[in-house]
């Protein structure tokens, strides 16, 4: 599922990993879950869609968001160079809300970055 208002909600998550995606092939490669969701959503395999990209009007970033939003056991926050989400994670690093272990401000301009995380289970009342 895609995480909204990450700065305010980051304390609800744990086990952060950053996935550096070089493109759609990298995103879809060897991932049976994403490939199955793609097939269900677009009524064709990713390989078929790649052969004739005109069959799908969505941008690669929209496709990534839509597919990840359907995965229920993980949570995701997607950003690219200098988009609003990138500005948010840079600000979180600069204000020491989060330590990403890398300089999150220095990323590749043509890559997509996906923060993968697990939601913290709320203690029973």
Q: Which of 22-39 are b and which e, b meaning 16 or more Cβ less than 10 Å from the residue's Cβ? A: eebeebbeeeeebbebbe
Quick one: average pLDDT of 41-58?
A: 93
Question: What ranges make up the beta strands (E) of the chain?
Answer: 13-21, 75-80, 112-119
pLDDT, position 124: 52
Q: Is the pLDDT of residue 14 over 90?
A: yes
| Total-model pTM | 0.89
List beta partners, residue 2.
Answer: 76
Say how far apart CA 63 and CA 28 lie, in whole Å. Answer: 11
Q: Which two tokens stand for residue 108?
A: 């590749």
- Quick one: DSSP state of residue 4? S
Q: Is the pLDDT of residue 85 over 70?
A: yes
pLDDT, position 70: 95
Quick one: average pLDDT of 53-63?
A: 93
């Amino acid at each position: 599922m895609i995480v909204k208002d990450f700065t305010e909600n980051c304390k609800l998550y744990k086990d952060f990993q950053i996935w550096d995606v070089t493109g759609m092939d990298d995103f879809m490669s060897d991932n049976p879950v994403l490939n199955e969701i793609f097939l269900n959503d677009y009524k064709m395999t990713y390989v078929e869609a790649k052969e004739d990209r005109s069959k799908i009007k969505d941008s690669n970033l929209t496709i990534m968001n839509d597919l990840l939003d359907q995965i229920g056991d993980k949570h995701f926050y997607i950003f690219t160079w200098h988009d609003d989400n990138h500005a948010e994670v840079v600000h979180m690093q600069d204000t020491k809300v989060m330590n990403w272990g890398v300089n999150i401000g220095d990323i590749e301009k043509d890559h997509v970055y996906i923060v993968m995380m697990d939601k913290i289970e709320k203690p029973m009342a």
